[in-house]
Structure 1
Amino acid sequence: MHALIAYFSRADENYFGGALRTVTVGNTEIAAKLLQEITGADLFKIDPIQPYSKDYNECIAQAQEDQRRDARPELKTYPDSLHDYDTIYLGYPNYWGTMPMPVFTFLEKFDFTGKTIKPFCTHEGSGMGRSESDIQRLCPGAKVERGLAIHGSSAAKAGSALKKWAE
């Protein structure tokens, strides 16, 4: 069986330790690609049809509104199947204490019964939030392992933490 790294990540204007900075690759994508180098797992980007704003403050307002409405933004594409995967590494930034709503869309699309989900998130001080319990609620037949919280602005240096956690 193979492993899949499914992740949501946002580039553009982001918050880094007290300041806004524009980046071309989001922190979670950086971590997901490091994890791919470590594990050899397949990679899938969770990408909504309607992206969040490039402006950080507008993005967080949109994301908070999506969460308030319990929205399920449609994704551009989905994997054909998760049948060949026994382990799913699930990556996302912490948005308001949990995962961005496109990750909820992804999780509700598939049956994760019998699969192991290993969540990892990037954050600037809020850790995993309630995302692990949200994943367990959305995927009741899955084994949800303890997640790894990665300080977003240090994502490029997270290789050793990812390797230890993935083993």
Structure 2
Amino acid sequence: MSNFKEEKCLIAYFSRSGNNYVSGKIMNLPVGNTKLLADMIREITGDDLFSIDTVQSYPKDYSATVNVAKKELNGNTRPELASHVENMESYNLVFLGYPNWLGTMPMPVFTFLEEYDFSGKTIVPFCTHGGGGMGRSEDDIAKLCPEATLLKGFSVQGPRASAAKKDVEKWLEAINSML
């Protein structure tokens, strides 16, 4: 991936492990699907990883998490983040990963995007989902970061994330050719 080497890239992601809705039932995931994709991107590109974590953890119970996520979305809440990228100004390309929650990004990802100045940076979203693809998340990113360049996102159904490496490689090759 020669062009990625010319960019200073960050892979920032929000992921949920534990109880998740997978193929019509609740299953325990030791590693969240979005983290699986973030790790694949890191393995291929060698870029820095940053986990978007909140101060207040989400409930372990899936249904309770959905209820919290609905309240956050309906209230346009910005959950406080537990850690911050120390040198965000040094990155010019950010891979941004998240699960599709209620048709968009989880609200902590909104917090992350509002916390930094993305002017002049390139944002490359990737998303795991239960059938809704990217939802309206790319539109939301464009609204939150109007001075950033937004490249086409990659989405994969959560249950397929662990087997998506070839698709991730193809997507990264396509992104690389745009740089």
TM-score range relative to shorter protein: over 0.9
Shift of 1:81: 2.3
Q: Unaligned 5+ residue runs, structure 1?
A: none
After TM superposition, give the deviation of residue 124 of structure 1 in Å: 1.1
Deviation sequence 1:33-52 (CA, Å, 0-9, x none): 01100111100000000111
Task: For residue 86 of structure 1, report the CA deviation from its aligned partner.
Answer: 1.3
Counterpart among 74, 93, 101 of residue 87 in structure 1: 93
Runs of 4+ in structure 1 displaced over 2 angstroms? Answer: none
Q: Give the partner amino acid of 2:15.
A: S
Partner of 2:125: 119
Secondary structure at 2:89 match in 1:
coil
Are 2:158 and 1:152 equivalent residues in the alignment? Answer: yes
Match of 1:110 in 2: 116
Per-residue CA shift, 1:51-98, capped at 9, x if unaligned? 111101110010011000000000001001212211100000000000
Larger helix percent: 2
2: distance between equivalents of 1:112 and 1:105?
13
- Matching residue of 1:44: 50
Residue 19, structure 1, aligned to residue 25, structure 2? yes
Quote the Cα distance in structure 2 between the aligned partners of 1:36 and 1:57. Answer: 31
RMSD (Å), alpha carbons: 0.8
- Describe how 1:48-67 pairs up with structure 2 within 5 A: 48-67=54-73
- Distance across 2 between alignment mates of 1:55 and 1:70: 22
In the TM superposition, residue 4 of structure 1 has moved relative to its aligned partner by 0.4
Aligned-partner Cα distance in 2 for 1:68–1:46: 21
Shift of 1:164: 1.2
Secondary structure of residue in 2 paired with 1:6: strand
* 3-state DSSP of counterpart to 2:103: coil
For residue 9 of structure 1, what is the aligned residue in structure 2? 15
CA distance, structure 2, for counterparts of residue 165 and residue 142 of structure 1: 20
Report the Cα distance in structure 1 between the residues aligned to 2:62 and 2:48, rounded to whole angstroms: 29
Q: TM-score, normalised by structure 1?
A: 0.98
Q: In structure 1, give the amino acid aligned to 2:49.
A: L
Q: Which amino acid aligns with 1:80?
A: E
Q: Determine helix, strand or coil for the equivalent of 2:156.
A: strand
Aligned residues: 167
